């Protein structure tokens, strides 16, 4: 059966993305095999207590900065061998807090300095680069503000620099607040996969691994030999570690040395962190991949893995492309089953390549406690799929964007389930990204209906997982947004109250518009698209039919289902998709059948007429398949969608203006 060029193009893109996603997926399982099977024992040596500079880059971290400094100063390491640099680029009361704390520890005999550059140029990378000019020790340890290094950290990590080619020792991240909420559990499992699979496999082999930006120790000579910290990307850690390994240095990952850290508890903060990582990785791919691929001393397998790691965030745009393409293919009744007559194999294949394989990895990593981790896996799949929009925008921003602002991930000192962050400073409002997530969520709901009505319910779960993810991420992005500020004056309290009322009214209005749009979309599908699906089914029966009366009944039913005139292809319309012409063809077919319905069953006239009717039914079915995609993109649908999006953007604009109105109060926050 002939397929329209548009549908064939959509299918080709769908398959291309499927192939690439399969490659990235199997690469993860390849690394999992290395990580689980290969056990490498690293050399250690008694290096004494060499001098170490501990650099603590912070920016507006009033809730966690003091905790970090206190933990560092409690390390079991000689004071005269430990230099501490608080690299403070803050512009809020964190500055005074750190100044007082540093003075206190200076009086206790610690070699600790409160370093203020007077600028945020280069952001975290700029602060580390500036600090290296003041560093004269053999090693440099780095901790972000949300980490709590254990007292034994330096004594246990330093001995792994036994070999001179070791340039970096990276420790595993622990999770202070893993069980705070579902999103912290999902983040924790994702990070555990990264460290216990990817980092371990690469450390135990000749593959390049990356520095994770914190909870690690660098050899100073390695940093200098690799060219120092660069500010051209948002992931200075990945950039430097790759440049170091290209120079021949070795990086180690130590899974048994765990440094606890606080996970983002606000959805908008988690999205910001994911955005920075995805954008930065693409920036590094553009910057480094060319040199990696042409460098002869780097093994071929290492080059392949470097390419995969630096480009793996491209999987997010491919997930979205598949998500958009699948309902279109189903609406066109395109066969997507692994084996045409065994549709169940389709879902079985998806399950085997995804959840089932991940469960096997979890079982091998966590042993007896694997069931506890396995319970989190479904939510991780939903959470990761929901982040696809956020990370896709980050990928394109990394490829084509000009701005390179480092937006920090706010932390609130949240450890226990009873801890509250909602009325604290640094809360992030939702962004325009949330509107895109809502769009994809609604599109997914329509896709589920298409899968069901097109008699392909086996694909409904495949569409449902990302749909739930988009809706959930969008919901939390909205519900985690706050305009509240901690103010003391009456005027400020009134401003807060007014802004909060605007926020609530705007959310009600936005959800009302979204619900109305979803209803109109469903109603439009039921009125305009579903009749075409029914008609194609009836034409299938006519194409194989032998009973003239039944065929005439089916043709009359099709005439009732289809529009009497108009052409859904409103740009460059074709005659084959003109419903007036299709109605005429149906009338002609009815007349042809009616003229021979009284002929004997095996007569030549009846057989000839049936062959003609079967052929024309197949052609009409193809015409309806060509018309179906354009029913979604009708002129009225485009106008309605434009008005619908404009209404949501208008409400978003109201919220933004109120946020700007409150900015004047932010500088005087006292929490």
Task: Point out the residues that are catalytic.
Answer: 89, 237
- List, in order, residues 6 or more apart from 170 with CB less than 8 Å away: 199, 203, 209, 211, 212, 215, 216, 251, 252, 253, 254
Contact assessment for residue 85 and residue 132, using Cβ atoms and an 8 Å cutoff? no
Distance of CA 595 to the CA centre of its chain: 61
Q: What are the CA-CA distances from residue 185 to residues 179, 263, 327, 375, 409 (Å)? A: 6, 9, 31, 10, 17
The neighbour count for residue 196, using CB atoms within 10 Å, is 20
The token pair that represents 28 in the structure block: 């993860």
Give exposure, 36-46, as e/b (b: 16+ Cβ within 10 Å): beeeeeeeeee
The neighbour count for residue 428, using CB atoms within 10 Å, is 20
End-to-end, the C-alpha distance of the chain in Å comes to 69
Q: Between 388-400 and 267-294, two packed helices, what is the crossing angle to 10 degrees?
A: 50
Rounded Cα distance between 364 and 39, Å, is 14
Rounded Cα distance between 482 and 463, Å, is 31
The token pair that represents 206 in the structure block: 């000749």
- By C-alpha distance, which of 211, 144, 134 is closest to 171? 211
The token pair that represents 523 in the structure block: 């109603």
Residue for token pair 């991949």: 289
Rounded Cα distance between 196 and 360, Å, is 14
The neighbour count for residue 187, using CB atoms within 10 Å, is 22
């Amino acid at each position: 059966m002939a397929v329209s060029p548009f549908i064939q193009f959509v299918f080709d893109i769908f398959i291309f993305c499927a192939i690439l996603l399969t490659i990235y997926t199997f690469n993860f399982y390849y690394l999992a095999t290395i990580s689980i099977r290969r056990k490498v024992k690293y050399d250690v040596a008694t290096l004494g207590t060499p001098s170490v500079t501990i650099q603590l880059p912070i920016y507006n971290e009033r809730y966690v900065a003091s905790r970090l400094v206190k933990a560092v100063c409690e390390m079991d390491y000689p004071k005269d061998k430990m230099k501490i640099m608080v690299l403070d680029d803050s512009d809020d009361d964190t500055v005074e807090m750190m100044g007082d704390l540093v003075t206190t520890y200076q009086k206790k005999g610690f070699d600790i300095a409160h370093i203020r550059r007077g600028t945020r140029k280069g952001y975290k990378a700029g602060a580390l680069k500036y600090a290296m000019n003041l560093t004269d020790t053999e090693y440099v340890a780095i901790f972000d503000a949300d980490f709590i290094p254990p007292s034994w950290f330096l004594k246990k990590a330093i001995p792994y620099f036994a070999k001179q080619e070791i340039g970096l020792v990276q420790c595993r991240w622990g999770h202070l607040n893993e069980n705070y909420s579902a999103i912290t559990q999902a983040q924790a499992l994702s990070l555990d996969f990264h460290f216990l699979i990817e980092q371990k496999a690469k450390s135990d082999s000749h593959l390049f691994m990356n520095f994770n930006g914190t909870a690690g120790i660098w050899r100073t000579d390695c940093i200098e030999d690799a060219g120092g910290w660069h500010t051209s990307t948002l992931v200075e850690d990945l950039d430097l570690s790759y440049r170091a390994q290209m120079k021949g240095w070795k990086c180690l990952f130590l899974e048994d040395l765990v440094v606890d850290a606080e996970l983002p508890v606000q959805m908008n903060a988690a999205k910001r962190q994911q955005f920075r990582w995805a954008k930065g990785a693409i920036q590094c791919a553009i910057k480094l991949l060319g040199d990696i691929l042409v460098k002869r001393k780097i093994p071929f397998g290492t080059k392949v893995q470097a390419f995969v790691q630096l480009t793996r965030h491209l999987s997010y745009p491919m997930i979205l492309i598949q998500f958009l393409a699948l309902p279109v293919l189903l609406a066109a009744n395109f066969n997507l089953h692994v084996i045409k007559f065994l549709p169940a194999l389709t879902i079985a294949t998806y399950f085997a390549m995804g959840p089932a394989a991940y469960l096997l990895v979890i079982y091998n990593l966590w042993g007896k406690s694997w069931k506890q981790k396995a319970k989190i896996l479904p939510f991780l799949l939903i959470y990761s799929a929901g982040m696809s929009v956020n990370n896709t925008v980050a990928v394109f921003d990394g490829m084509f964007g000009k701005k390179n602002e480092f937006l920090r991930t706010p932390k609130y000192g949240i450890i226990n389930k009873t801890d509250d962050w909602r009325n604290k400073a640094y809360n992030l409002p939702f962004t325009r990204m949330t509107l895109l997530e809502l769009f994809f969520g609604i599109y997914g709901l329509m896709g589920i209906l298409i899968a069901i009505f097109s008699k392909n319910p086996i694909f409904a779960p495949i569409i449902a997982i990302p749909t739930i993810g988009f809706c959930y991420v969008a919901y939390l992005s909205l519900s985690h947004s706050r305009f509240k500020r901690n103010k003391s004056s009456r005027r400020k309290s009134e401003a807060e109250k007014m802004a909060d009322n605007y926020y609530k009214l705007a959310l009600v209005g936005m959800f009302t518009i979204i619900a109305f749009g979803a209803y109109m979309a469903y109603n439009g599908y039921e009125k305009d698209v579903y009749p075409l699906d029914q008609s194609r089914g009836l034409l299938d029966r006519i194409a194989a039919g032998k009973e003239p009366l039944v065929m005439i009944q089916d043709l009359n039913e099709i005439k009732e289902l289809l529009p009497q005139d108009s052409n859904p292809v409103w740009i460059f319309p074709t005659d084959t998709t003109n419903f007036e012409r299709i109605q005429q063809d149906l009338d002609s077919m009815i007349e042809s059948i009616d003229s021979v319905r009284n002929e004997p069953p095996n007569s030549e006239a009846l057989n000839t007429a049936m062959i003609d009717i079967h052929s024309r039914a197949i052609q009409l079915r193809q015409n309806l398949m060509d018309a179906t995609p354009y029913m979604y993109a009708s002129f009225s649908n485009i106008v309605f969608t434009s008005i619908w999006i404009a209404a949501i953007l208008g409400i978003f604009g109201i919220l933004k203006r109120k946020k700007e109105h409150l900015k004047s109060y932010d500088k005087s926050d006292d929490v």
